[in-house]
Amino acid sequence: VLCWFYIFPVYRLPRDKEIVEEVLRQGEIWQKNQTGIDLYRKLLTDCCDPQRMFAVTKENSPMGKVLWYDGEFYHSHTVNNETYPLFVQDNPLQLPLKKCAVVGNGGILRHSKCGRHIDQADFVMRCNLPPLSKEYVEDVGTRTHLVTANPSIIEKRFQNLLWSRKAFVDSMKVYGSSYIYMPAFSMKPGTDPSLRAYYALADTSSNLTMLFANPEFLRTVGKFWKARSVHAKRLSTGLFLVSLALGLCEEVTAYGFWPFSVGLDEQPVSHHYYDNILPYKWFHAMPEEFVQLWHLHKSGTLRMRVGHCP
């Protein structure tokens, strides 16, 4: 029995209340640590090469290249005449990015007044086409440089773009001229809606540029965090973006990451800043992810904003 204990020490995730206490203990104290920033950039570059690999490009995915889906076994897409022309030539971002804000969708953002802060960043990343309507602007800001879109949103919210292309293109206008980052080659059913989204934007000369997430990058980032105690079927979108930001940006601040049901004032917090629809259990491991992000915050590698912004 002792032997088992040494091989598999019991790892217990802290309870919500313990997390709240820990965050309150730390308070507003935060100090940037350049060594930590450089170390994580190097670790992520070595494992996952975000600069070259985060998107599918003509450079990393030439004709005939086999893209293995990262979200399921034994599915692949061979780059062909139909898909190759849709890829950007190379990483289109002006690197290094300076101050980056990664905005998760946590309910902790509601009444945070972080909008101004977020908008001051040089590069703002958001998850899953979040609402940016007037009522939220004070809390989440208005600017976006990269926004992820899950193919399932295209299916559900825009009826797979079979007859609602205008509604889709119109609702994309709030993201200005940002990049829209879609995991087109992660799950088989996601490819078709992602290509439709590409054509809907291209056909209407939209200001948005489509980038398809590179499944190889998503897989290597998943492994990176698995080796650091994040055990989930799939990483959350937010952690993919934080990883990307740590690889590409000089400074990273994360907002809206709080997968707990109580806030720092011990009042209930909704799951999202715009609704309280909970995720499918066991798919992501957001509390485990939060613990890792909090370590990075404490070490000065990135800054987490979990309370109100000054």
The binding site for ligand CDP (CB under 6 A) comprises: 104-107, 127-128, 236-239, 256-259, 271-272, 279, 284, 286
Q: How far is the CB of 209 from ligand CDP (least distance, A)?
A: 21
Q: Which residues are 211's β-sheet partners?
A: 181
129 to 104, 196, 204, 237: CA distances (angstroms) = 11, 16, 19, 12
Q: How far is the CB of 105 from ligand CDP (least distance, A)?
A: 3
CB atoms closer than 10 angstroms to residue 50: 24
Q: How far is the CB of 65 from ligand CDP (least distance, A)?
A: 27
Tell me the DSSP string of 1-29.
-HHHHHHS----PPPHHHHHHHHHHHTT-
Taking the least distance from each CB to ligand CDP, the nearer of 97 and 254 is 254
Q: How far is the CB of 257 from ligand CDP (least distance, A)?
A: 4
Q: In the structure, how many helices (H) and strands (E) does the chain have?
A: 12, 9
Residue nearest to ligand CDP (CB): 238
Please count the CA atoms within 13 angstroms of the CA of 103 that sit on its side-chain side.
Answer: 36
Q: How far is the CB of 108 from ligand CDP (least distance, A)?
A: 7
Taking the least distance from each CB to ligand CDP, the nearer of 83 and 236 is 236
Alpha-carbon distance 247 to 43, whole Å?
9
Taking the least distance from each CB to ligand CDP, the nearer of 83 and 144 is 144
Taking the least distance from each CB to ligand CDP, the nearer of 99 and 234 is 234
Taking the least distance from each CB to ligand CDP, the nearer of 106 and 247 is 106
